[in-house]
Structure 1
Amino acid sequence: MIDAAYVVQEQECLKIDLYDRQRGFGNEFQQLSDIADQLAIAPRFGPTATPKGSKIARDAGHSPKDRLKGFQEWLVESPDAAALFVADQLRQHRNMDVDWLEAMVRAAEAVVFPSECLSSVAQSLLGAAETFRHRDEFGSAEICWCALHRAGSLLPTDQIDLLRPFLQNDAHVDTRLVALQAVSSIVDVAPLSDNAEAAELISRIESLGKKVLEADVFSAGELSAIGIECTMNLAGLSPDCPNALVDRVLALDREWLTNIVIQRYEELIASWRNVGVTLRQVAVLENDLSRLRDNVQ
């Protein structure tokens, strides 16, 4: 059985790779990813001198491609300083050359930001995503999704409602699935300390989930992925309430769909238990899980 959300993500990765090559960046973005992987396992030492690459990266007189190459060198020599540079550049997203903004969005995926600037970087990336979701040029969708995905990985839990505008399908780029995945990445780790501030987000997710999980609307592919994420978002955001979307999943009577949701519920409960959430706190989730399991036995 293939996870529909996985298929959608793999397709988008192929689109992104094609887009990078057509934009003339060659394999620079892949090199960024490779450098990030190396830095994750290598010891980090402070620089002994100003890296040459930093001068090129900072100089707007160079082409975005040359600046990105300079940034790659800088990232290897001084990853902490390079990360702060990316954070500073993203804060200027409203007035930035679009090609360089694309490069900085990708660079944000390759660096480790200091904890004190996570919130501001996340908000800057959301701003960049908002810019690209209203553009209809080829490749705007891929960059928008990258910015939104990275923002979700950095966003503090008390700012989760900032993802709500991206659940509307009212622009050139449909950001609903990626925004839902960003919500999942936050609530899968641990329950919110207070979900009152997310009330409007919860309402929007439930409404969207009910829409795509209707029998005459539902289909495999992106819509099913959206339905699955809505179901799990609602479970994670409102763990004290029975999940209304579980009823929709059961009503569709598709075993593959039910099995995916069962697996996601099991992973959510296990993740929360690992951070000390008590059995009493996941009792409602366990009840929903039992209902799902009963449907496939």
Structure 2
Amino acid sequence: MGEPNLPARQMGRQLKRMRERLGMTQDEAGAPLRMSTSKMSRIEMGYLPPYHDFRALLDRYGVIVSDWDEYISAYDRAKEKGWWHHYGVGNRGFLPIEAEASKVQEFQFGYIPGLLQTEAYMREVFVAARVPMKPKVLENQVAVRLRRQLRLTEEPLLTYHAIIDESTLRRPILYGKARQEQLRNIIERAVLPNVTVQVVAEEVGAYPGQFGSVTVAGFEDPEEPDIAYVEHIIGSVHIEKKDEVSAARLALKDFADRALDEEDSVALIERLCAGG
């Protein structure tokens, strides 16, 4: 089923506020509706109930019928599937988080970040996947990644900060003109006002980033906590505990401090593009 989307989490918080304003516990609110405390807890986390249960909660919280329309509209939005479902992609992974985020900061040690990849580069990455993809699945993955990149140039714009290890840029995944096009694509994206690109140069030597990549997403809703995301060889993990997300943010700050500034990072990529 995956994690609830942002509109669902917002609706869950709103239902919680409505209950608390009435001074009810979850048990007191749910018992007359035959909803257990665990079910009430899940609802307030964003795992919304069936439509009729939702209407019953509105009635339980004293919302008059003439005011239901705005709540039902919000409920319908929360139940909508993301555009990626059209491509056969579910709600797992980072995509649903990124789609709702207003800002993303990531460090990449293995591959050029997906939002900065050319189509040629992403095809090489997908072909090299541990589990081979069927042709249609591969094409869908390419289409999804290309659509994700629109967040950098179309509203709602994503504020994006990529920190890339230099070895990632030097890794021979593409050759010749295709490699130059990939490096040039990063340079062009770095010029965008909402995009920051930094490179951790080889001269830095050993540093904690060599343990792997990490991403942190932030949201426009001040009540929505940041989420960290880590991919590994057999899957991925979402991190929501406040202290662990803070640790991820500190790690990203450390990597950014070690990296070249924006101007010098672009200059390094230009040298690599020229064959340096």
TM-score (norm 2): 0.30
TM-score (norm 1): 0.29
Structure with higher Rg: it is: 2
Using CA pairs below 8 Å that are at least 6 residues apart, which structure has the higher relative contact order? 2
